[in-house]
Structure 1
């Protein structure tokens, strides 16, 4: 029997949610194609308006406008598909980003990089499904209790992100060094158990998705065997024809060796995973004076950071790899060729039948 992913009345034929990857990596083409092939497509709102002509002058307006444009384009690709957005809680003007996504007509919102404490308030009155990204049982319990007390609401689903994920990570440097897969499995199992208890309490199932390092059908089979309802996959989708990233970015994944995948300290104060390149070597030795603030992350301290993360990520989205920050998951080195989303989804569909 083939396993599907049900979130309320939404049902994905293949229990895969594509991870949100900013800046400009997971936009309408990738998200729309994943949704068309039976998964859940996700658009990252992180500096999504970087191509808008007024982005530098008015990044908020540019980003809000781009959210609506990208959702509309993704809908055209997958009219009957399930589409969502990923919004980091540390995003400046977070509430307006959420409200803009709701206005754009998304089906769901996934929110991490901190606990989305007030997310229910910003989606109230809409049918949009909401989910936190958590990395520990403690954070899941804290959020559930907060939402229950303040909003009489439980998560519609939850994404449990492990230490092999890409981009900004929900772990300290010390935790990353000692966190093995067995430890992640224990966290996942504990959250699955608590999600079942909360689900019984509110009278509906709260699906749990495993995330971070899910690359192939073996990884998915392992997660499903533990009791996960589905998986979130990011890195594997970067090296696809349909990914919104430029060719040079995709080639960087294909050419990367295992030893090139590094944990770095992001200028916004969190550990992150990226591909080692000339840019990282340079910023490790020098501090660049920040000429302009793009109002991205609330934790950024402009006078103290070694470089502007928005500019570094925009360079990646433009294909200027030598001057770019190349976020990736731990398994980026496993990308060997440019694939098609359709073929990847077929592989995960096989895992859902096993």
Structure 2
């Protein structure tokens, strides 16, 4: 029987699966072969398929014969002869380990692969191996995780979760406290930019606007802004005003900044303790346990427009967000 006499007849289920492969398949060859089979099922001749897909006549016939012989398995490439793979599975695992260990570029990994493993390959091959292992090239971030005591971190997590549950039941009032500085020029962020251009804003300089804030389990935000340096005395005064504002016993979660534990303010803290203030200090290098850190991030990277500001504009914009917290700007306390 000649190749032209062979016909392709599909069931509804086969048509559905082939249509899915054509639209969403990860391998472009399989997508093209699925399209060929679907066209032949519609009764089109090999010549018509060749004209539509712009591929060789023999290629269409081979795709058809592979389908008739092996069904969906026929869409896939058979093992081919040729040179062995440059990177074995072991080499790929080594690349992944190096990538986790240090922020290396693909050219650096290529050189290291040659020096330490004796494998000669291209930068493209290194990139492809990492992508195959679900690695992507993106910006790094600073982290304190490697410095902290994980056991103490987990203990603090559990303790804070219990305090949050008590606050939800109305047994205690809880607050996250921290301070942050705001500059005239905001932190860099991603922005849609015309190809070949750079998104620029004026690099303003000036004193930082400092903010002390307490995010309370009632949903309120108690804050103070000032242009001076945040000192231990200012912090102790802030705690006194916070306790007076809450009007009763208050548990405060905060980090181990030097101004929070300064010897000079210990008498003030002792007095506030007698009035109902309890301080819970987080383990070192555990900023993510203080939920108010999310407030600073949202203010600087989401709620404040990416632009340069004068001192007056900066104070007005920061003040507007702090005053509108809970109505215009919202976060979930947990």
Q: TM-score range by the shorter chain?
A: under 0.3
**TM-score normalised by L of structure 2:** 0.23
Q: Which has the larger radius of gyration?
A: 2
More RCO (CA 8 Å, sep 6+): 1
**TM-score normalised by L of structure 1:** 0.22
- In proportion to residue count, which structure has more strand? 1
- In proportion to residue count, which structure has more helix? 2
